[in-house]
Amino acid sequence: MESSGIPRIVGGRHGAAHPETWDDTGVFWRPGVTVTAGPRGAQPQSAQPQSAQPQSAQPQNAGRRRSEPLWRAIAVFRFASLGYAVLLVGVIDRAEYSRQDWAWAVIAAMTAWTVATTIAYARPELRTPLLLSADLAVTAGLLLSTTLLQYPHAMRSGVMPVTATWVAGPVLAWAVRHGRRAGAAAALIMSGCDFVLRDESITVVLNGVVLLLLAGVIVGDLARLAAEVEAERQHAVQVEAASRERERLARVLHDSVLQVLALVQRRGAEAGGAAAELGRLAGQQEAALRALVGGGLAASASGDVDLRALVLPAQSERVTVSVPAQAVLLEKAAADELTSAIRAALDNVRRHCGERARAWVLVEDEPGMVTVTIRDDGPGIPDSRLAEAARAGRLGVSHSIRGRLRDLGGSATIRSVSGEGTEVELRLPRGAGVPVAQPPGAG
């Protein structure tokens, strides 16, 4: 491991060491953070907080937390609807029942099922399709029992079934758990059972269909919106926490690694000779690290990253980086691969043109396309050199540059004139829905 490399910041834990110390392997660490010297030319990586859960599970858990009030509201609704059903059977529609005793038995079953589902739905792990289907089946069965309990003329005249509004419980549960489509499907099933009971009273049945569909769709949308709001809130919290951690790391690095690099640069310049070259490299790495901890990795609410924050650390005494004034947002995976291709092109400049060669990186944000141009003032690439290198197994250009862009659906074009340097143009199609950077004052 070369000591002249740019420090990389990675998450880690070393329980046996002491805070803010250098161990005998050249690793600076403090609790939760490790700073190691990476290979020369490697770029810093931002620290990522370790999570006890996979990131893919975090939005799901956030959605569950946000939907908890909806489940409690469903429980309140079912008990309130149960009370309304008791009022109908015992007082308002008492004369419409031919078998009052069996009607009270159905009310008792409704009470037991309401208690059981309230307890079960209070536990997220039990909100399975099996329980939801059982809820739908039991409710449908109790609804259809009305045909054995009421007089025929009662059903034809539009008297409420024994279950009354209690039948909306499983519709709401499906909507909250699986969204508006599932809620609408459950509403249609319950409406079909209602139609079987009162096929001669189409107007009453249609009213029930409309109300159940509205309940399923609206509550399903509310559940989805609640989950999205919670996910956005969690993302904002994570971004804020990462920003605070970056500021803390910047202070730590300023007091340790950056001071050491500045000292090496100054002493190397004073010593001259080979030490002067070492000091120059240390100065370049210090500037790159300062740019990293000072700029930060900008991320949008959708998780896209600002390409500028990944490319700017490459700027040095011999490398000039020009970027748009506004953020250049790309999906993180695409931005990482594009940055790796840029680094590979700059590594080729240093390797084949010498440490004194200059390079220029230009980032352009066009509608539907992000273009990065890397140009150097080296001797250029002789004709057929790239093909010979590929046949010899030296795959830097074909794999590190062209291969990466090809995998992303983009392209890499290399133009070179002997004695006039080389130009590498990387073109990456922009993902749909990502805003394009506008120049200042553009409308």
DSSP for 21-80, please give it: EE-TTS-EEETTEEEEE--TTPPP-------SS-TTHHHHHHHHHHHHHHHHHHHHHHHH
Say yes or no to pLDDT of 8 above 60.
no
Mean pLDDT over the full length of the chain:
75
Q: Which of 129-143, 154-168, 250-264, 305-319 has the highest mean pLDDT?
A: 129-143
DSSP character for 149?
Answer: H
**Rounded average pLDDT over 359-377:** 92
CATH class of the domain at 300-443: alpha beta
Say yes or no to pLDDT of 170 above 80.
yes
Tokens representing residue 201 in the block:
């009273």
pLDDT digits 0-9 by tens, 390-413: 555 454 565 678 888 888 899 988
Which of the residue ranges 114-118, 205-209, 237-241, 360-364 would you say has the lowest mean pLDDT? 205-209
- What is the rounded distance in angstroms from the CA atom of residue 310 to the CA atom of residue 313? 7
pLDDT band per the 50, 70, 90 thresholds, residue 414:
confident
Say yes or no to pLDDT of 14 above 50.
no
pLDDT band per the 50, 70, 90 thresholds, residue 133:
very high
Higher pLDDT, 293 or 268: 268
Q: What's the confidence (pLDDT) of residue 61? A: 52
Which of the residue ranges 35-44, 140-149, 273-282, 419-428 would you say has the lowest mean pLDDT? 35-44
Say yes or no to pLDDT of 427 above 90.
yes
Q: Which of 102-106, 290-294, 297-301 has the highest mean pLDDT?
A: 102-106
**Rounded average pLDDT over 405-431:** 87
Higher pLDDT, 433 or 142: 142
Under a CB-based contact definition with an 8 Å cutoff, are residues 341 and 400 in contact? Answer: yes
Say yes or no to pLDDT of 7 above 60.
no
Max distance between CA atoms of the chain, in angstroms, equals 109
Q: What's the confidence (pLDDT) of residue 118? A: 92
Q: Under DSSP, is residue 376 helix (H, G, I), strand (E, B) or coil?
A: strand
- What is the rounded distance in angstroms from the CA atom of residue 339 to the CA atom of residue 404? 10
Q: What's the confidence (pLDDT) of residue 299? A: 52
Residue linked to tokens 């699986």? 178
Q: Tell whether the torsion through CA atoms of 217, 223, 224 and 225 is positive or negative.
A: positive
Query: How many angstroms from the chain centroid is the CA of residue 248?
Result: 24
DSSP 92-119: ITGGGBS-HHHHHHHHHHHHHHHHHHHH
Under a CB-based contact definition with an 8 Å cutoff, are residues 164 and 81 in contact? Answer: yes
384: phi then psi, degrees, rounded to nearest 5: 70, 5
Under a CB-based contact definition with an 8 Å cutoff, are residues 44 and 8 in contact? Answer: yes
Residue linked to tokens 């230009």? 362
Q: What's the confidence (pLDDT) of residue 23? A: 42
- What is the rounded distance in angstroms from the CA atom of residue 325 to the CA atom of residue 319? 19
Tokens representing residue 229 in the block:
């709001």
pLDDT digits 0-9 by tens, 56-77: 444 445 445 567 888 888 889 8
Q: What's the confidence (pLDDT) of residue 110? A: 92
Under a CB-based contact definition with an 8 Å cutoff, are residues 218 and 18 in contact? Answer: no
Order the strands of the 359-366 sheet from edge to edge.
319-322, 359-366, 369-376, 422-429, 411-416
DSSP character for 318?
Answer: S
**Rounded average pLDDT over 403-432:** 85
Say yes or no to pLDDT of 373 above 90.
yes
**Rounded average pLDDT over 17-36:** 38
Q: What's the confidence (pLDDT) of residue 293? A: 62
pLDDT band per the 50, 70, 90 thresholds, residue 9:
very low
- What is the rounded distance in angstroms from the CA atom of residue 327 to the CA atom of residue 298? 8
